[in-house]
Structure 1
Amino acid sequence: MIQTKAKEFLQKMYGDANSEFNFSIGWLEWFKARHGTKSYRRFGESGSVVIENIKYVSPQMRAKLENFDWKGIYNMDETHLFYCLQADDSLATK
């Protein structure tokens, strides 16, 4: 997000004159060091999956999925299930 905003500011301040400037990962690291910004973990690791429960839930899910066309079944990883959750990491100065 910092890199994207930096590109927007560069565009607003100088127009297309500096369009070749690259806000690389190295630039980002120097920016964070210069301003004392660090990444902090906000939440710890969530509980692990209980493997025994998968034995019971898997056949139930397969039975429910048989009612749908394969074209209508999508990947259901945590990104899709918890898209509204807050991020685990946060940038802060202190």
Structure 2
Amino acid sequence: MYGDANSEFNFSIGWLERFKARLEINSYRRFGESGLIVVENIEDALPQIRAKLENFDWKDIYNMDDIGLFYHLQAYYALATKQLEGRKKDKERLIIVVCCNGDDFVH
């Protein structure tokens, strides 16, 4: 915090954790969003997908994904002495799309 200006002032390992415990500061989620994925459903579908893909060349198999860049979004967690009031997320974003075929040629 003070660097070389005050070499006598030194935080010990665990100082922050004890400080937070003393003041009852905890980490709370600021936004709630459920993202449940049932792994069993994915594992059951993989053999069927692989069987269908065997009919195509690698150059004809594409994978595309979009990524939302939420440049105004605040942190999901905050340190506080009590639970913070909930509020909606700022949904202003840029959409980035990445696409690649099976033989690693990026489009």
Fold shared, TM-score > 0.5 on shorter chain: no
More helix per residue:
1
Q: Please report the TM-score for the alignment, with normalisation by the length of structure 1.
A: 0.43
More strand per residue:
2
Q: Please report the TM-score for the alignment, with normalisation by the length of structure 2.
A: 0.38
